[in-house]
Structure 1
Amino acid sequence: MSFYKPINIQNDLFFQLSDNFVTKTSETKHATMKRILPVIVLSQFCCTSLWFAGNAILPDLTKHFNIDANNLAHLVSAVQFGFISGTFLFALSGLVDRFVATRIFFVCSILAAFCNISVVMVHTTESILLISRFLTGFFLAGIYPVGMKIASDHYQKGLGKSLGLLVGALVLGTAFPHFLKGFNTNYSWEFVLWATAGLSVLGGSMMVLLVPQGQYSTVAKKIDFRAITTGFKIHNFRSPALGYFGHMWELYTFWAFLPALILSYKTQHHLTDINVSQWAFVIIASGSIACVVGGYLSEYFGTKKVAVFALSLSCFCCLISPIMLMYASVPVLFGFLLFWGMVVIADSPLFSTLVAQNAPIESKGTLLTITNSIGFSLTILSIQIIGILSNVINPHYLYIFLAIGPILGIAMLLKKAS
């Protein structure tokens, strides 16, 4: 008896073509994923250059608009208040989870750019200037946290590395206006506003045209007012969110008072060869490197461990700051501030990663946004307290109080679920 197996040429050909199609589809998808991240990162850099545009040209604005010295703090804080208001409204309305995120990013980038340059285009008073900066911050709420949501919609594996690049872009963006003013004093204050507005339009256009909807994204059909309270009941979400709040207590106050810190050291030691704007740009911008490095390290050592380590280092910098400000030479102080500028932001993308990974997928955008809103609210409180203390105690000891945030943040991260 003989047995034979019939050959089905059509079936063999079908499976071969299917395998080829799957392979090519996988390769195309991988290539697309590699292309998307640089676009998101570059878009984030372009749009967040609006953030410190007003701070970088503050002396020019003060002179041009005859701003009262007592109102300077309001001008500096206007963007922060706008951002807090915007993130709170976005989170409460659930807009980020109800509409396509790239479109929200684009619309907000255009509106923020317009608000940024409105003071150049119309007859401006001090009140209009404050409103302009407030609204710029308001629409930045549709850029920074929404950019993180877009990244998390595309990347689950390697999210820490992706958000490290994204927050690194934010750091470079916020430092960029200082670069424009500090490295070329011939640039007018109007040019800084036009340049950052143009970058914002470019960044928003790139995002909406080149970044498709992510494979992990969802669009909610209705507003869920319980999304925020539900999220904070989850320990794995609540713990990194509280750690992020401790981190934010230190971060923006350090950035805000950095020029004053450098100027104080320069005055005390009777130095003339320190360019405060250049130092501020380099120190703040160095944080972008730390964000990227922290993201890569998180893949090997774990996101939470690297976040705790970075937060501990920045806490240490707070505690030893009086010694450095009193006794360090110029090179040593610059090296110390450069290190501090790196570790103070290195944990930011790691906290965002932990928040995004542990938030319910249907309310991820809302919870990322409200976390940003609360975190930035704490920056206002921290800045105001340090501002008050600066009139009471020796400036050398001022930055010890920033350690309160990292200490509490570490405690929240290490706390076990009850």
Structure 2
Amino acid sequence: MQQSLVVGTSLLSAAGGLTALLAAKDGPFTFPRSKFSLREALRAFTARPVLMSSLGYFGHMWELYAMWSWFSVYLSSVLARSDSPLTEQFASLATFVVVSIGAVGCLVGGRLAERVGSAKSAIVSMIFSGACAAVIGWIPAGALWLVLLIALLWGFWVIADSAQFSVLITQVADQRYVGSMLTLQMALGYTVTVPIVWLVPTLQANAGWGWAFVCLALGPAIGVLAIRSVLRQLKHHGEGQ
């Protein structure tokens, strides 16, 4: 089973790479070309709007991958404590649904961004996902229906803002270094996921799931503050996004 899973995901990854190589094209709105300078790129990245947009992304990533990594374990523990007849197979299936509903969340997040702007869309998503993270670990095991309801909301909103941080970078960064800014933002964002994925089981073992998930909620809380700063900057420049 594990071997089939690895082979399947590897083939899908390869197919995605080939699709991007053979079918994807640059959009109609190109960015000015320039000679790369590490010093200038770092200076562009440390500009306040770029830094705040990236900080919002880091808060998003702090929560996202830890939630995806540990939700199945959490739900299995809920089932065990509730004396439910449901098995770990149910926990795996429910986790699949919770993660998959994020696809709908991305669509809604994008539609919302078209109406109110990427900054506001990201803020809304982080408020909802952070609230779910702060609450779900404290729900009694007997209220399984409520756990599942909050989990679906969490899975929906935890990823709904993901694309908006990249959009913000394209809006606020030095246009000569947009590609470098996006690359650096994403690389650092994935690095942020490492300590929290490791920390969650340690927190759970010592303080329980409630506090472990509250720790995840710190990410979107910081992210909201950061993106509010970006929103003020955009309004100041008349973009309102």
Pick the TM interval, shorter chain.
Answer: 0.7 to 0.9
Once residues 70 and 6 of structure 2 are traced to their aligned partners in structure 1, the CA distance between those partners, rounded to angstroms, is: 22
C-alpha separation between the residues in 1 aligned to 2:26 and 2:137? 49
Q: 1 CA distance for matches of 2:10 and 2:192?
A: 27
Q: CA deviation at 1:216?
A: 3.4
- Partners of 1:298 and 1:395 lie apart in 2 by 33
CA, structure 1 residues 202+193, in 2 after alignment: closer, same or farther (shift >3 Å)? same
2:10 is equivalent to residue 208 of structure 1: no
Residue 250 (structure 1) aligns with: 63
| Matched AA of 1:289 | V
Deviation, structure 1 residue 261: 0.6
Change (3 A) 1:377 1:240: same
Q: Which runs of 5+ in 2 are unaligned?
A: 237-241
Q: 2:172 matched to 1:358? A: yes
Q: 1:328 to 1:368 in 2, by over 3 A?
A: farther
Question: Would you say the 8 A contact 2:82–2:142 is kept in 1?
Answer: no
Partner of 2:86: 273
Bigger Cα displacement from structure 2, 220-229 vs 350-359: 220-229
Q: Secondary structure at the match of 2:36?
A: coil
CA distance in 1, matches of 2:13, 2:165: 26
Q: State the distance in 2 between where 1:266 and 1:401 align.
A: 22
CA-CA distance at 1:215 after TM superposition: 3.4
Instruction: Give the length in aligned residue pairs.
Output: 230
Matches within 5 A, 1:216-295: 216-217=29-30, 222-274=35-87, 275-295=90-110
Decide whether aligned partners of structure 1 residues 207 and 319 sit closer, same or farther in structure 2, where only a CA change above 3 A counts.
closer
Compared CA separation, residues 236 and 391, structure 1 to 2 (3 A): same
1:303 and 2:111 are equivalent in the alignment: no
Measure the CA separation in 1 of the matches of 2:226 and 2:34: 34
Cα 1:383–1:189 change in 2 (3 A) is closer
Rg larger in structure: 1
Task: Provide Cα deviations, 1:74-98, integer angstroms capped at 9, x if missing partner.
Answer: xxxxxxxxxxxxxxxxxxxxxxxxx
Taking the TM superposition and a 5 Å limit, the aligned residue runs for 1:186-197 are 188-197=1-10
Residue equivalent to 1:406:
220
Residue 321 and residue 197 in structure 1: after superposition, are their counterparts in 2 closer, same or farther (change >3 A)? closer
- Matches of residues 80-159 of structure 1 in structure 2 within 5 Å? none
Alpha-carbon offset, residue 246 of structure 1: 1.2
Unaligned runs of 5+ in 1: 1-187
Q: CA deviation at 1:206?
A: 2.4
User: How big is each residue's C-alpha offset from its partner over 1:11-68, in whole Å with a ceiling of 9 and x where there is no partner?
Assistant: xxxxxxxxxxxxxxxxxxxxxxxxxxxxxxxxxxxxxxxxxxxxxxxxxxxxxxxxxx
Q: Distance in 1 between matches of 2:100 and 2:126?
A: 18
Contact 1:389 1:398 in 2 (8 A): yes
Provide the rounded CA distance (Å) in 1 between the counterparts of 2:60 and 2:24: 30
1:208-250 Cα distance to aligned partner (Å, 9 max, x none): 2223344334585643212432223333322221111111111
The RMSD of aligned alpha carbons is 2.2
8 Å CA contact 2:58–2:188 kept in 1: the answer is: yes
Cα distance in 2, alignment partners of residues 212 and 383 from structure 1: 35
C-alpha separation between the residues in 1 aligned to 2:134 and 2:34?
Answer: 49
271 and 235 in structure 1: CA distance in 2 versus 1, 3 angstrom threshold: same
Deviation at 1:411, TM superposition (A): 1.3
Letter aligned with residue 403 of structure 1: A
Give me the whole-angstrom Cα distance separating, in 2, the residues matched to 1:313 and 1:219: 37
User: Would you say the 8 A contact 1:227–1:367 is kept in 2?
Assistant: no
Corresponding residue for residue 19 of structure 1: none
Query: Identity of counterpart residues, as a percentage?
Result: 27
User: 1:350/1:322 Cα in 2 relative to 1: closer, same or farther (>3 Å)?
Assistant: same
Give the CA deviation at 1:348: 1.1
Q: SS of 2:37's equivalent?
A: coil
Q: Residue 318 of structure 1 aligns with which residue?
A: 133
Deviations 1:159-193 (A, max 9, x none): xxxxxxxxxxxxxxxxxxxxxxxxxxxxx333323
Matched, 1:329 2:143: yes
